[in-house]
Amino acid sequence: MRPPPFEEIAARLAKWSFPAGVDGVVGIAAGGVVPAALVAQRLGLGLKIVAVSYRNAANEPQFDEPHLMADVPGLGLWKRVLLVDDVYLSGKSWNAARAMLPRKIEVLPFVLTGDVDFALFRDAKGSFDWPWTVG
């Protein structure tokens, strides 16, 4: 399956009903950086990045469990955040990133693709070379 063109991604994001009361957006690096930036821009919110490594460039797990690659950013006064990734396959990266954020923070999920309720493209399966993917 081919990735959705950037124009379709942008159009769907423009129509997506995000929950009210979100204080900021946290993206899961590396794949979730661009989607998180698009969501933060759409909502006019701040953006922080959590660097987690689990899959390689061929989208194969390279570790048994996701690894934290950099310090978790401080979230300041944020109480409710969107945790954004490009895909939700096994859920390991998303759940690992969630576990790294403070428990007192309400974390709401959002991904571009996956067979989950919070996916922009629920009908798309697997991972893609997104329009912003290099290489």
**CATH value at residue 92:** 3.40.50.2020
Listed in sequence order, the residues at least 6 apart from 84 whose beta carbon sits closer than 8 Å to its beta carbon are 25, 26, 27, 28, 32, 35, 36, 39, 110, 111
Residue 95 lies in a domain: yes
Q: What's the whole-model pTM score?
A: 0.87
Residue 112 lies in a domain: yes
pLDDT at 122: 85
pLDDT at 31: 86
Residue 130 lies in a domain: no
Rounded Cα–Cα distance for residues 30 and 50 (Å): 9
Domain of 34, in residue numbers: 19-121
Rounded Cα–Cα distance for residues 98 and 85 (Å): 11
Residues of the chain with confidence (pLDDT) below 50: none
Residue 70 lies in a domain: yes
Residue 105 lies in a domain: yes
Residue 109 lies in a domain: yes
Residue 128 lies in a domain: no
Alpha-carbon Rg for the chain, nearest whole angstrom, is 14
Sign of the Cα pseudo-torsion (14, 19, 22, 25, in order): negative
Domain count, the chain: 1
pLDDT at 66: 64
